[in-house]
Amino acid sequence: MSITTPEHDERIAQMKFSSVYPHYVTKVEKKGRTKDELHQVIEWLTGYDLKKLEELIESQVTFEKFFEDATLNPNAHLIKGVICGYRIEDIETPLTKQTRYLDKLVEELARGRKMEKILRVV
């Protein structure tokens, strides 16, 4: 049994990355982290460099398209814990799980976690 509903998963899939990105920036900067650090975290997870990220924001892709074209980091499965009320390990829908991975990394960055820990350097 899935812990997310099909409606919830579809809402995430259709959400535009460009509408959430400014919130990520605000969240990390408010806590004294930088936009560059945020970009480093996003690139680690997705493989997108700054130029590609700017293109995706400009073209207003959905999260579905954002993750469809991403090259997920092989250590992404090491991202665990609760985010937005859901335990990441229990999310079955791949896209919802990937989106929550990103949310979790942004939260860890904002909380002041060391970059090596966020990037799951093993």
Report the topology of domain 6-118.
Helicase, Ruva Protein; domain 3 (1.10.8)
- pTM of the full predicted structure? 0.94
pLDDT at 122 over 80: no
In this predicted model, what pLDDT tens digit does every residue of 33-63 receive, in sequence order? 999 999 999 999 999 999 999 999 999 999 9
CA distance 73 to 88: 16
Count the neighbouring beta carbons within 10 Å of the beta carbon of residue 88. Answer: 20
Instruction: Report strand pairing: 86-87 vs 82-83.
Output: antiparallel
In this predicted model, what pLDDT tens digit does every residue of 52-108 receive, in sequence order? 999 999 999 999 999 999 999 999 999 999 998 889 999 999 999 999 999 999 999
> In angstroms, what CA-CA distances link 46 with 4, 8, 85, 90, 110?
23, 22, 23, 21, 19
